[in-house]
Amino acid sequence: MLIELRQNSYRFNADPTLVIPLFRQLPSDEYVRIIKSIVDLSEKEVEEVLAVVVRSLPGRYRNITSLFEEHFNNITSYFDEAGIDPDALSASRKTLLGAAFTFDFPVEAAGLFSPSVVLHPDQTELNSGEQRLIFVLRAIGPGHKSSLVFRSGVIDRNNEFIPDPGGKLLSAGEVTLPETFKKERFIRKLQCLNGKYNEQLYTHLSSQLHETFTTDHLRSGLEVMAENPNVPPSFITEVEQALETGFSLDFSIDAGLNEKVIYPFAKAEKKGYKNPVMVRLNHSTEGPCYAGTCIADSGSGLRFKIFTTSDFYHFEFSNLLPEDDQITHLALFPEKFDGKYFMLGSKRNGIYLASSPDLMHWGNFQCIYEAQHAWELVKISHSGAPLLLPEGWLVITQGTGPGGKTTLSALLLDRENPGKVIAMLKEPLLTSTHGEGLLQFGLVSGGAIIHNDTLIIPYSISRFSSTYAEISLSTLLSHMVKSAELKNN
């Protein structure tokens, strides 16, 4: 560490005791077997077993009655096969059946890292020099399934973080899928998500749909296409999965921010979300608006997501579609330029700039910076959204060098022309010193903020813990060298 940068002692640590209740996925014959076993119990046995279950629940679930009811409704299709009339069952037996297909998923049991930070929409009741912050982090549970979780609190005038009390009743929210789709936009999304199929397949699908169509209408068209031996079954599957990739997510008003979990529910995103980067958009005229980008993992491929919210109770998710399929790790600018949205993206060899008219389709990726230092020769990326200073756009970079060491550094982009690098550090801000076994864990950061003329940079120090570092802006800028004085881009 060659620049005077202070590492804070506060830690965001993973808590393996935090769980969300999920519906248990089983083979059909297992559902039938368990249903029959519970139906065979006497009413007294049902009451006794249910009492044991309920006694173990305080402090673990929110709205447990409605949750068990929902999970009971998920299995009603198996009652005919079991030869059982569900309407003849008592309320206690239905509750026990719902409980039998519920299990705890510890969202942070395998990791908590990759922090990104934004200013909270509520900045009231604070002392001078304080700001309320929201951190979003990647949490990993069993099976390496990743969710997004939140932490909030106040950073004081001395840059010390005072966390809000953490809740124990986690909520995954309520997912709502859209009722209608626009044909042109849906077909274009399919082609961007997976363009490996013959163009005739997309044309064929388009001919089956109205200009505005419903889910049922699409599935009817897919049934017709499935009868054609020239249509691969994988194409049908991927079209069906595309229906789930755009959705809204709502949390109840009594759920604290620290209790909210963005959990992957769609099959096309079954391994979860990673690399979260949030930014507060400054061009909204209707109050604060936040946009986040992340990568959704299907287990066989990666896709980009964008989510927006104004209050952290209601979220809208959609696909983010870069034309360059080699671009990774996206971050939005908080400002528009000439009516367009701008975004940074990364490839192994450099940092790129792209624009979009609609926050969904992104093209014209242009390289604005290529690796120049030893610490970034293996891989170079940005870390989070650019920060606007009077001197220009400050971009924190993350480089990987020989031996797997990762390093945080910084670039300065022209204020009016963000495609132009005007200054950069010629030495690192911070270099990883933590390792796990034979591998360096490295530094993973998803963005920074400015607080009291100080740059606050959150980053991971291990798979299970994150912190933040700080440096005065004047010190940072004094160490930056005009790009013309270094190797030309």
Q: Are 114 and 84 in contact (CB under 8 A)?
A: no
Higher pLDDT, 405 or 398: 398
Structure confidence at residue 200 (pLDDT): 85
Structure confidence at residue 242 (pLDDT): 78
Q: What is the mean pLDDT of the chain?
A: 88
pLDDT tens digits, residue range 376-396? Answer: 988 999 999 999 999 999 999
Structure confidence at residue 436 (pLDDT): 44
156 Cβ contact list (under 8 Å, min separation 6): 127, 129, 130, 162
Can you tell me the mean pLDDT for 339-350?
89
Count of other CB atoms within 10 angstroms of residue 350: 18
For 79, phi and psi rounded to 5 degrees?
-70, -35
Can you tell me the distance from the alpha carbon of 199 to that of 65, in angstroms, rounded to the nearest whole number?
49
For 471, phi and psi rounded to 5 degrees?
-155, 140
pLDDT beyond 90 at 166: no
Q: List the one residue out of 379, 429, 432 whose CA is nearest residue 408.
A: 429
Coil, strand or helix at 73:
helix
Structure confidence at residue 338 (pLDDT): 86
Q: Are 462 and 111 in contact (CB under 8 A)?
A: no
Structure confidence at residue 435 (pLDDT): 47
Structure confidence at residue 438 (pLDDT): 32
Confidence of residue 193 (pLDDT cuts 50, 70, 90): low
Amino acid at 233: P
Q: Which residue has the tokens 């950069």?
A: 424
Structure confidence at residue 244 (pLDDT): 77
For 310, phi and psi rounded to 5 degrees?
-115, -20
Structure confidence at residue 442 (pLDDT): 61
Q: List the one residue out of 384, 367, 401 whose CA is nearest residue 457.
A: 384
Structure confidence at residue 489 (pLDDT): 44
Return the DSSP state at 484: G
Fold of 6-14+112-158+257-485: Tachylectin-2; Chain A (2.115.10)
Structure confidence at residue 181 (pLDDT): 85
Percent of the chain with pLDDT over 70: 94
Structure confidence at residue 437 (pLDDT): 35
Instruction: Find the DSSP H helices in 199-299.
Output: 199-207, 215-226, 233-242
pLDDT beyond 80 at 196: no
- Residue 111 backbone class (left: φ over 0; alpha: ψ -120 to 50; beta: rest): left
Can you tell me the mean pLDDT for 43-54?
92
pLDDT beyond 50 at 320: yes
Q: Which residue has the tokens 């993206």?
A: 345
Q: How many residues does the chain have?
A: 489
288 Cβ contact list (under 8 Å, min separation 6): 121, 280, 310
Q: Residue 486 corresponds to which tokens in the numbers above? A: 């270094």
Task: Convert 366-402 into a string of H (helix), E (strand) and C (coil).
Answer: EEEEECCCHHHCCEEEECCCCEEECCEEEEEEEEECH
Confidence of residue 1 (pLDDT cuts 50, 70, 90): very low
Can you tell me the mean pLDDT for 364-370?
92
Q: Which residue has the tokens 């049922």?
A: 216
- CA-based torsion, 469, 472, 475, 481: positive or negative: positive
pLDDT beyond 70 at 484: no
Least confident window among 22-26, 54-58, 349-353: 54-58
Percent of the chain with pLDDT over 90: 57
pLDDT tens digits, residue range 422-447? Answer: 999 988 888 876 544 333 456 778 88
Where in the chain are the domains?
6-14+112-158+257-485, 19-106, 178-242
Return the DSSP state at 354: E
Structure confidence at residue 286 (pLDDT): 61
Q: Are 397 and 416 in contact (CB under 8 A)?
A: no
pTM: 0.88
Can you tell me the distance from the alpha carbon of 271 to that of 292, in angstroms, rounded to the nearest whole number?
18
The radius of gyration computed from the CA coordinates of the chain, to the nearest angstrom, equals 25
Q: Are 458 and 127 in contact (CB under 8 A)?
A: no
Can you tell me the distance from the alpha carbon of 387 to that of 449, in angstroms, rounded to the nearest whole number?
7
